[in-house]
Chain A
Amino acid sequence: DQQVKQNSPSLSVQEGRISILNCDYTNSMFDYFLWYKKYPAEGPTFLISISSIKDKNEDGRFTVFLNKSAKHLSLHIVPSQPGDSAVYFCAASDETGTASKLTFGTGTRLQVTL
């Protein structure tokens, strides 16, 4: 059973526009959420995170929003750049204060076009 779901396998956005990647989860015990970015032939790299005590976290062009009641989070990239083209994984953890046993989604492939 997929506890973290990314229902859009792919997304295409024009350069300069906003990219919105969505993620839903089912486990109400998840209390920390992360986004990882993956380029071809490389491992995923950490992008941004948010704890359940917040509803928004911003880092430069990247903002993550968390709606706990809906069990939904989203990653906004503004403005989108061609270098943002990658696969984005949403991840969640329910082990506060201990090692991150992360549960990942299936990923969304973002393509930023010129």
Chain B
Amino acid sequence: DAGVIQSPRHEVTEMGQEVTLRCKPISGHDYLFWYRQTMMRGLELLIYFNNNVPIDDSGMPEDRFSAKMPNASFSTLKIQPSEPRDSAVYFCASSTGQGLFSGANVLTFGAGSRLTVL
């Protein structure tokens, strides 16, 4: 398996522009997570899906952020309009969602999308 695939790896845009980040989870993983990494807050959970359905979006910072998962192999995180404070590395991760104590419920992360908003 190629692992979790994210695109683009780097995005530089101007304030006010729309940004779309993409993720392809590992085949067979029922859970998909979007995290944001900043120096001040570390890795923050933005939203996660189970079987393509959003379960918890309490970490989405504002209405400018939205995420979709139209099918089991694709998810997007959209920021519209983007602001300089959105500059961060955005990670997508997936897991099987089995019980924690089984050891199988470990997140596998993609390589991340580094966003810079000027």
A binding-site residues for B, Cβ under 8 Å? 2, 4, 6, 32, 34, 36, 41-46, 49, 51, 89, 91, 93, 95-107
Contacts and interface: CB of A to CB of B under 8 A. Distances in A.
A97 B100 CA distance: 5
Given A41-B112, A102-B45, 17 more contacts: A42-B112, A43-B112, A44-B43, A45-B109, A51-B100, A96-B101, A97-B101, A99-B48, A100-B95, A100-B100, A101-B48, A101-B56, A103-B45, A105-B42, A106-B41, A107-B42, A107-B43
A99 B43 contact: no
B73 interface: no
A34 B101 CA distance: 12
B48 A97 contact: no
Interface in B17-48: 31, 33, 35, 39-45, 48
Contacts of A98: 97, 99-100
Interface string B89-118: 001010101011101011111111000000
Contacts of B100: 32, 51, 93, 95-98, 100
B4 interface: yes
Contacts, number: 79
Interface in B35-69: 35, 39-45, 48, 50, 55-56
Contacts of B55: 99
A44 B110 CA distance: 8
Interface of B: 4, 31, 33, 35, 39-45, 48, 50, 55-56, 91, 93, 95, 97, 99-101, 103, 105-112
Binding site of A, secondary structure by majority: helix, strand, loop or mixed?
Answer: loop
B93 A43 contact: yes
A2 B38 CA distance: 13
Contacts of B95: 99-100
